[in-house]
A and B are shown apart, each in its own frame.
Chain A
């Protein structure tokens, strides 16, 4: 678990970033007719999906993004825990959960809510609750 690092409230940058994520989501639907779910795109790119080409290209774009931001003079902040065992466990749980639950923050969160899907709304409600509960237990366990 990452020690508490204070971060500043950035409503405008976060709103702008969110709108960009939304625009990307609409590009995929309008041009390719596909859902912008990152776990699903990743699985299809590395697995046996017949249309793996655009998926792999999407992954190249998402991985290249910080380099593009730095290229135009922006800074990229990412403070990651150095507890490698914890990060391995976290990665396994995130991968397993999104595989079993058919989606993550993007597929269920952004695309699913935009489609008004009851399945996605249920998934978002559940993962928000367990994520908040996990952070509270790990950071504030002494209150229990």
Chain B
């Protein structure tokens, strides 16, 4: 059931990305280009997703545990630190260059655009390196 839940959640997420226009970098860049041909559509994506999640999370948390797992795994770290801010800043620059964030880039794979097929492997390499840097910074901070 966990595999099926994972697959169906991924499918619904991906269909949402396609329908909303999030998996189209041209639309994302026009959303970010507030001085150009501004397309505010993606504000509706973020709004619709966040409000739905806000309400749904509170319904889900009324149960003592999730349906197919023994406990909820929710991040507990509340510290706003340098790796968080630096990482977010670097991510934003890459998002502004390519118009892809991780989910839409994965969803766009089967369309086989050369730019997507270059972006995704580079993103995976970056994800490993960035995670290693975060772990190294955490070790340094506690040492």
Q: Which positions in A face B, CB cutoff 8 Å?
A: 1-2, 4-11, 13-36, 38-39, 42-43, 46-47, 51, 53-69, 74, 76-84, 86-102, 104-106, 108-111, 113-115, 117-119, 122-124, 126-136, 138-140, 143
Contact = CB atoms under 8 A, between A and B. Distances in A.
A61 B66 CA distance: 21
B35 interface: yes
Contacts of B130: 95-101
A62 B75 contact: no
Contacts of B97: 1, 86, 89-90, 93, 134, 138
A127 B19 CA distance: 23
Given A63-B109, A80-B25, A57 B95 contact: no
B20 A91 contact: no
Contacts of B79: 119
Contacts of A61: 6-14
A7 B127 contact: no
B101 A94 contact: yes
Contacts, number: 524
Contacts of A96: 87, 90-91, 94, 126-127, 129-130, 133
B59 interface: yes
Contacts of B113: 78, 80
B21 A14 contact: yes
Main secondary structure of the interface of B (DSSP, over half): helix
B74 interface: yes
Interface of B: 1-27, 29-30, 32-37, 39-42, 44-54, 56-57, 59-61, 63, 65-69, 71-75, 77-80, 83-103, 105-111, 113-116, 118-134, 137
Given A54-B5, A91-B126, 19 more contacts: A18-B46, A22-B56, A25-B56, A33-B71, A42-B106, A57-B7, A63-B109, A65-B17, A76-B18, A79-B25, A92-B125, A95-B122, A95-B125, A99-B133, A101-B87, A102-B84, A113-B53, A127-B92, A139-B35
Contacts of A47: 128, 131
A46 B88 contact: no
A24 to B, nearest CB: 4
A139 B33 contact: yes
B127 A128 contact: no
Given A54-B5, A58-B9, A67-B110, A20 B15 contact: yes
A95 to B, nearest CB: 2
B46 A66 contact: no
